Amino acid sequence: MGKFQVLDHPLIQHKLTILRNKKTGTKAFREIANEIANLMAYEVTRDMPLEDITIETPVTKTTAKKLAGKKVAIVPILRAGIGMVDGILQLIPAAKVGHIGMYRDEETLVPHEYFVKLPADIDQRQVFVVDPMLATGGSAIMAIDALKKRGATNIKFVCLVSAPEGIKALREAHPDIDVYTAALDEGLNEDGYIVPGLGDAGDRLFGTR
């Protein structure tokens, strides 16, 4: 079974409170969503493999650590996932970015895949699938299905706010992947929104309605 971690560092909790507040406008929401993603990336990359290399410091020859060449792909689920990409790229600037487009039928809440564009060597990469909200889990499950179908094997899912229903569904459908969230909320309301949540993450990021 993959890991499940709530990354509740005080800085993350503080910033998440600002996102949850309905008075927070688009500009601040966008900046802070990326700041949280940046802080999460620090934890999510904790188990990246290292290798020893020999270098010379100005003082002596020594053995030092270097990332062991595991290449990274960040894959936002469109469109709200885009709001986490820059924050992660700040820590992993050489990462490639794929995109998976999913939309949720507003009546049935069932997700549909409409766009998949990934790095050609996705099977060689450590993949971070990002989406701010894990509600029913439907989009995340389908996005990970799409990635596995194209050869990805090393996948982690990273979200800001999750509902227990979504965590359960995702871990049942994809028990092999690690799941990281900044907060585990109470549940879903009848409209499929996470409670207390932060509203529609895409609308709040992009200033739409």
194 is in an annotated binding site: yes
Smaller CB separation from ligand URA, 193 or 206: 193
Rounded to an integer, what distance in angstroms lies between the CA atom of residue 95 and that of residue 87? Answer: 12
- Subset of residues 85 to 114 that bind ligand URA, contact rule: CB under 6 A: none
- Examine residue 177 and tell whether it contacts ligand URA (CB under 6 A): no
104 is in an annotated binding site: yes
Whether the CB-CB separation of 199 and 36 falls below 8 Å is answered with no
**Shortest reach from residue 7's CB to ligand URA, in Å:** 19
- Examine residue 137 and tell whether it contacts ligand URA (CB under 6 A): no
136 is in an annotated binding site: yes
Whether the CB-CB separation of 99 and 115 falls below 8 Å is answered with yes
Q: Which of 133, 124, 128, 132 is nearest to 45 (CA)?
A: 128
115: its two tokens: 């766009």
**Residues whose CB falls within 8 Å of the CB of residue 49, separated by 6 or more in sequence, listed in order:** 67, 68, 70
* Catalytic (active site) residue 86: no
- Examine residue 36 and tell whether it contacts ligand URA (CB under 6 A): no
**Owner of token pair 């650590």:** 65
**Shortest reach from residue 29's CB to ligand URA, in Å:** 12
Stretch that binds ligand URA, among 58-66, 108-116, 145-153, 186-194 (CB under 6 A): 186-194
Whether the CB-CB separation of 35 and 87 falls below 8 Å is answered with yes
Active site members? 104, 108, 200, 203
Site of interaction with ligand URA (CB under 6 A): 80, 133, 135, 192-194, 197, 200-202
